[in-house]
Structure 1
């Protein structure tokens, strides 16, 4: 496993519970040790991309007598709190920062995804700290990443980071919820992410953030698949940052995959969302499992959903098993038409990038 001190670029994710823990604006005293860690990393030649939650939590102070649970109100709080959150970070540094607000639509589209990557690269090359957050003010359900843990993993892959550090309010991943289970044990190293690890219940007890330990494990799965070492640490304890810089393990380390996915495969598998489905027969299923990237319309049993050329679709077997994601070269309307043709000359190939996957890997 690569030592932290040997990393060249990391993504550091800080959650709302650290930034605005009481809903009364940002908390600079809690962020100061994190800022010092960022400064020290940069002094050692480690580039840092900061993924910062907190706009909604920071903006809550401006709406004290309002129903904070409505979607329009949360968007308004995000708009008001985003500037507060960015200015708080900015005051903690003596170098420039830049704000990058994203939606899932920016990451789903390959050109915009590449634009995000190149923008962050250029900022880092000029000594500017990129501060990334989901654009909660304008995002919709269709365009929402949902939590900044997964956003951090996607950004880590996009910028080819060596390490991902997820700050939370517990010491790491436990065998249970340490707040209520006295027998829960800290898991220091995770070599591979299993179904049992995903099922560990460490439900968040605060109502400030949107993520929890489950999203952090999901984020770690995405990052390690790209060869990125991932840490879950307690961001409320300043000593953990000193431990990282001493190449010690202050929480839970997720080991990176020994056979990382390519950028293209990782983007397709972990970033894109399926807009529709192709259900294939036994012949088509075998074609997919054999890694052949062409299936024809005579192997399709049904076409589900509404999608366009270039959209991501899910390839499923007759019994409902998810086989792969693919980039379709035909729209749903045309594919539905072609599957109904009896003339073999009308059978159309699907240009795809396939992964032999289980449903759990696609979620």
Structure 2
């Protein structure tokens, strides 16, 4: 498909992105995996990291790699079990492919949707990914298909990428596939189909323009990509759809130039997240903080540390949304707590460096991380 007529526009500003790479970009014609298109995408990741940005990679291709290893054998089990076996076989060569294309260490992170629906596992996954990014490691995320029951379904990695984008507080979701943009008709059948460069807001009419999977290698099509963009938009994250088969398109991304479709968000990401934190149901308890902590939270981009906590009321669990109040029980903020109520009681007034010795473990220096905090005193956006 020619990219000559594709619209070009600037990517939104971003510091952290999730890049999803589809199976069609990794599967070799004769079976197995190829670096033919992955090389340019890996180059974009490396260039982004050199520029001080962070990229999390969500990569398909494990089933295709596993199928190549068993190309001479029949798969006797049920279809789902066979796909799970192929995914288990193919994970190693898929990770090896990406490691061969970058000098940075590559880490494999296997997730299921159940991991991301469970608040405790959600927080653990996020903490792991954040730590990997701080270590300048390339996280390669995939479905944990080996143990999943219903995750091997149409477009699961597109949707997983959107969930991961929200998980790591990404500024941008990038979806690379063998399709260069969203079109107003199916370009495989309609020569008059025109690309759509900018989608200000997803509507039923826009989603209806999308079709299914174009080949037998991938598990999704444009419809699942738009579904992923819809999930990302709900978290305030725009989505860029582009062809990973065009090296000039991939190279242009390094200069923040998109040749494809940008699915925008209504409002901005900060507003969407802050609104949710302010209005979502809170747990059965609150944390009282001293005047210094009140000033730190309301005066800037500070996290809530143990030293500023003076009291804990009620019961809540790790990952619950809790109220944060001052000494007079006036609301100051709301946030997702990294520790349960019993743990916070033990940590109150202590230094962050004492967490591991007091509890025997640590989920991080912050009781509530600034990314999970919404100030409500004076309706500040700090």
Structure 1 length-normalised TM = 0.69
- Structure 2 residue aligned with 1:75: 84
1:40 aligns with 2:47: yes
- Structure 1 residue aligned with 2:273: 262
- Structure 2 residue aligned with 1:244: 253
- Structure 2 residue aligned with 1:165: 174
**CA positional deviation for 1:66:** 1.6
1:203 and 1:141, CA in 2 relative to 1: closer, same or farther beyond 3 A?
A: closer
Matched residues, number: 267
1:184 to 183, 189, 193: 193
Is the contact between residue 236 and residue 265 of structure 2 (CA under 8 Å) also seen in structure 1?
yes
Distance 2:99 2:147 in 1: 23
Distance 1:241 1:233 in 2: 8
Task: Deviation per CA, 1:41-98: give whole Å up to 9, x if none.
Answer: 1111110000001100111112223249811211111111110000110111111010
1:208 aligns with 2:217: yes
**CA positional deviation for 1:3:** 5.2
Superposed, 1:95-244 pairs within 5 Å as 95-141=104-150, 147-244=156-253
Is the contact between residue 95 and residue 127 of structure 1 (CA under 8 Å) also seen in structure 2?
yes
1:152 and 1:219, CA in 2 relative to 1: closer, same or farther beyond 3 A?
A: same
**CA positional deviation for 1:256:** 2.2
Task: Deviation per CA, 1:137-167: give whole Å up to 9, x if none.
Answer: 1111279796100000000001010111001
Is the contact between residue 154 and residue 220 of structure 2 (CA under 8 Å) also seen in structure 1?
no
Gaps of 5+ in 2: 1-8, 281-382
**CA positional deviation for 1:203:** 2.5
Task: Deviation per CA, 1:336-360: give whole Å up to 9, x if none.
Answer: xxxxxxxxxxxxxxxxxxxxxxxxx
1:60 aligns with 2:67: yes
- SS across alignment from 1:161: coil
- Structure 2 residue aligned with 1:28: 35
1:8 to 7, 12, 15: 15
Bigger mean CA offset, 257-266 vs 171-180? 257-266
Structure 2 length-normalised TM = 0.66
Bigger mean CA offset, 154-163 vs 257-266? 257-266
Distance 2:275 2:220 in 1: 27
- Structure 2 residue aligned with 1:304: none
RMSD: 2.4
Distance 2:246 2:47 in 1: 16
Is the contact between residue 5 and residue 245 of structure 1 (CA under 8 Å) also seen in structure 2?
no
- Structure 2 residue aligned with 1:92: 101
Distance 1:264 1:110 in 2: 19
Distance 2:173 2:34 in 1: 23
1:23 and 1:226, CA in 2 relative to 1: closer, same or farther beyond 3 A?
A: farther
Is the contact between residue 183 and residue 193 of structure 2 (CA under 8 Å) also seen in structure 1?
yes
Task: Deviation per CA, 1:184-241: give whole Å up to 9, x if none.
Answer: 1100000000001111143222101111100100111111222212100000011112
1:248 and 1:184, CA in 2 relative to 1: closer, same or farther beyond 3 A?
A: same
- SS across alignment from 1:164: strand
